[in-house]
A = this chain, B = another copy of it.
């Protein structure tokens, strides 16, 4: 029997049920009172963090954790150049985009150079959720359709419209009728010709959306399929599915919130690994190394059509402070060679994981590219017997060894490894050693 399907916010999470004996004046108690049921905290005993640098986070008790999880502070926690860019710009000016500001257009000119030429407009907003919400609307406007296709453990954000296309966020309610979720692109599901099998599933979903009367507005994929369990290979497997969508008059939306900004080690954007041309690209998380910023790269013709109906203005989106943070991130990626580092250190981690796998039957699969890696844990290495309990135990064991990792996948049995891109070989080795030792203590 497979374990129950996990809702994304429940993975590796503190449970409020276990908080009965908590000191009522403690920080944890205050957090639970402030956020209420929306407290989403990591670990059976949450950690109070007070500092960070590079790939390290510092807790209030002085413990330094090796951060193998957080992909937002992608160029490194409190990177001095990002801090300086934010501090300097904050002292100079922070205002909305209804006035011109050179720092904003310098940034956009630089950012646009990383995209295919036909994505010639960039709409700036503040969160990946806002970016995906906007992308859905542009897709509906151009296609004239309302139906969307997603993968079955997809998570694209938290607005009403975006929750509708995020099966991993729904605890009780079914997907709405205008959204169809197909199984994520595992070769164990679609067979050896993954591209063809996945494209056939997409074609079936397109037909079903037609039958239901919505038509196909688009396919939206996180091009690394993070919440589905990190599905990276083989590069190119998305191209046939994208062709199916375009033939159906729908748009392909590449959600680059997770794989974007060089994390995959070989390209700035995940869709480039698949050699496809998206109609819309959304980005967020590492864009400002934690400064709240996000965006949609789109064709000017689509933006024009959309703006004839509603227009778009975002008060905080693209302010000079965000642009300064974003520019610093682009500069650091380039000048510190972080894409190359992600490939180098990521390959080292993959090799180390494969060596560990030989000792442990419980590791049934290792997938990933650059510094985005998923490790499946299963009973006796049988993919049909996923072991989320082992994943949770291992995550908590590694925490006690001062290493932070997370979980993903439909059953929560996939270890999710996404350290800052500045990770060193030495830090990778610390992780690998502790993972092996942690497995030893649990198995």
Q: Is A443 interfacial (CB 8 A cutoff)?
A: no
Given contacts A48-B101, A109-B30, contact A158 B313 (CB under 8 A): yes
In the complex the two chains form, is B38's CB within 8 Å of A121's CB?
Answer: yes
Chain B proximity of A59: nearest CB distance (Å) = 8
Given contacts A27-B102, A308-B172, contact A130 B130 (CB under 8 A): yes
Across-interface contacts of A122 in B (CB, < 8 A): 34-35
Chain B proximity of A224: nearest CB distance (Å) = 16
- Which single member of B51, B129, B171 contacts A130 (CB below 8 Å)? B129
Copies in the complex: 2
Given contacts A41-B100, A120-B36, contact A170 B310 (CB under 8 A): yes
Residue of B nearest to A49 (CB): B99
Contact flags (1/0) for A282-299 with B, using CB distance below 8 Å?
A: 001100011111000010
Instruction: Give A133 to B132 CA distance when docked, in angstroms.
Output: 14
The size of the chain A interface, using a CB distance under 8 A, is 103
In the complex the two chains form, is B36's CB within 8 Å of A316's CB?
Answer: no
In the complex the two chains form, is A315's CB within 8 Å of B285's CB?
Answer: yes
Residue of B nearest to A173 (CB): B309
Q: Is A63 interfacial (CB 8 A cutoff)?
A: no
Across-interface contacts of A308 in B (CB, < 8 A): 37, 171-172
Interface, chain A (partner B; CB < 8 A):
7, 9, 27-28, 30-31, 33-38, 40-42, 46-52, 57-58, 60, 70, 72-73, 77-78, 80, 82-83, 86-87, 90-102, 104-105, 108-109, 112, 120-123, 125-130, 133-134, 136-137, 158-161, 163, 169-173, 284-285, 289-293, 298, 300, 303-304, 306-317, 319, 321-322
Interface pairs A-B: 7 shortest CB-CB: A36-B121, A292-B316, A87-B87, A37-B307, A160-B161, A48-B100, A292-B292
Identify 9 new A-B residue pairs, CB closer than 8 A, beyond the known A36-B304, A83-B90.
Answer: A34-B109, A37-B304, A40-B313, A41-B97, A48-B101, A49-B101, A127-B315, A133-B160, A172-B309
